[in-house]
Amino acid sequence: MRIKRHSAAWAVFAAGALVLAGCGTDYNIPEGGINPALAGLQVDCGTKPVSGEGSSAQKNAVDVFARDYGIKCPDQTVNYTKSGSGKGVAAFTAGQVDFGGSDSALKEEKGEVAEAAARCQGNPAWNIPMVFGPIAISYNLPGNPALTLTPDVISKIFKGEIKKWDDPAIKALNPNAQLPGIEIVPFYRSDESGTTENFQKYLKTATGGAFTGEGKTFQGGQGVGQGRDGSDQVAQSVKATEGAFTYVEWSFPKNLGLGVAKIDSGSGPVELSTANVGRGIEAAEIEGEGHDLKVDLKSIYGNKSPGVYPIVLNTYEIVCSKGYDPETTKAVKSFLTVAANADPEDLEKSGYVPLPESFKGKVLEAVNAIS
């Protein structure tokens, strides 16, 4: 499938396999002009198309990357299939795609590190954290008053220990809010989800283990809440239900006009904004060695510094450090260079945040080191 970009038509594609292609003079410059970071960028595009597969959580970000790549490299094509992180890793290690998109870094205990090295002609594969998407704590109340919540309160809601909106714990955090005495109706993802996995990691870290759920399947209190398949159904259910409460990617409550809570991790309420999420990313610690940029998510989730919004999902582009043929090397490096410099406004519209400058520097050093 070959798609020309007209107006904002690139933003959402229903097909599982995404192919965005540069189309020469037919490839329209975005309204407002070309991204300044892209305009001055020097890349060697190569002659081969770029292929990737994996995480659906980063799919809309890859749309933005591919659009910008088509502008910078008008004869190039990006093919990305959203099939889930596990299938993306498997396709990469099998040599079926140039990069794998994954909600988590390669796992040594599952044999993924060794399999990826074999695919890369005996060279290590690197986890490049290219996409960060905030997870919003969202709700539907009359008038959607501005609310502040803590990790402990969020945890207790999902465990069924706080059941009404006028509970004293919520009122203490929001003394000036008009809180109705209605039931809280939690919604969660019923399918396996990277969003759920990251949210549960956050709650477990931020509550010091008081919340015990983990993994891609939601594990709140027994009989608490209602499950829905996919973030879209979760968000639509919250929109349709007075008193509803959920965790969901930022783009959904923005588009539906739902309430989004500020988070108080101990240093005061913090609004979900690009700048506040960026502070957490900038302070993130790296677990990987050298140019393998595996992020220690606990260093974000447990960050209690003022002005840090700590609930994020990050996804990786998994690539070979060495082992591609020369033209594929050029194409992968040029695509990832463009991706790191993607248009911040377009990313935010799609529910993501751009890489903060210091973090972007680490990413570009890794991309430049691919050989």
Residue 155, annotated as binding a ligand: no
Residue 105, annotated as binding a ligand: no
Q: Angle at CA 87, nearest 5°, toward 94 and 363?
A: 80
Report the amino acid identity of residue 269: P
Ranges of beta strands (E only) in the chain are 17-21, 50-54, 77-82, 99-102, 125-139, 148-149, 185-189, 226-228, 244-249, 259-260, 262-264, 269-270, 285-286, 295-296, 312-320
Report the amino acid identity of residue 283: A
Which residue has tokens 């549960």?
200
Residue 243, annotated as binding a ligand: no
3-state secondary structure of 266: coil
Taking the C-alpha atoms of residue 315 and residue 234, their distance in angstroms, rounded to an integer, is 21
Report the amino acid identity of residue 336: L
Residue 117, annotated as binding a ligand: no
Cβ contact 331:46 at 8 Å: yes
In the structure encoding, which two tokens stand for residue 95, read together? 């040599």
Residue 85, annotated as binding a ligand: yes
Q: How many CB atoms lie within 10 A of CB 266?
A: 10
Taking the C-alpha atoms of residue 326 and residue 342, their distance in angstroms, rounded to an integer, is 24
Helices (H), 193-325: 194-206, 231-240, 251-256, 274-282, 298-301
Q: What single string gives the DSSP state of each residue in 178-198?
A: ---S-B-EEEEESS--HHHHH
Residue 193, annotated as binding a ligand: yes
Taking the C-alpha atoms of residue 283 and residue 289, their distance in angstroms, rounded to an integer, is 17
148-149 vs 262-264, strand pairing mode: parallel
In the structure encoding, which two tokens stand for residue 96, read together? 């079926």
Cβ contact 199:314 at 8 Å: no
Which residue has tokens 């700048």?
275
Binding-site annotation: residue ranges? 55-57, 85, 103, 193-195
Binding-site annotation: residue ranges for phosphate? 55-57, 85, 103, 193-195
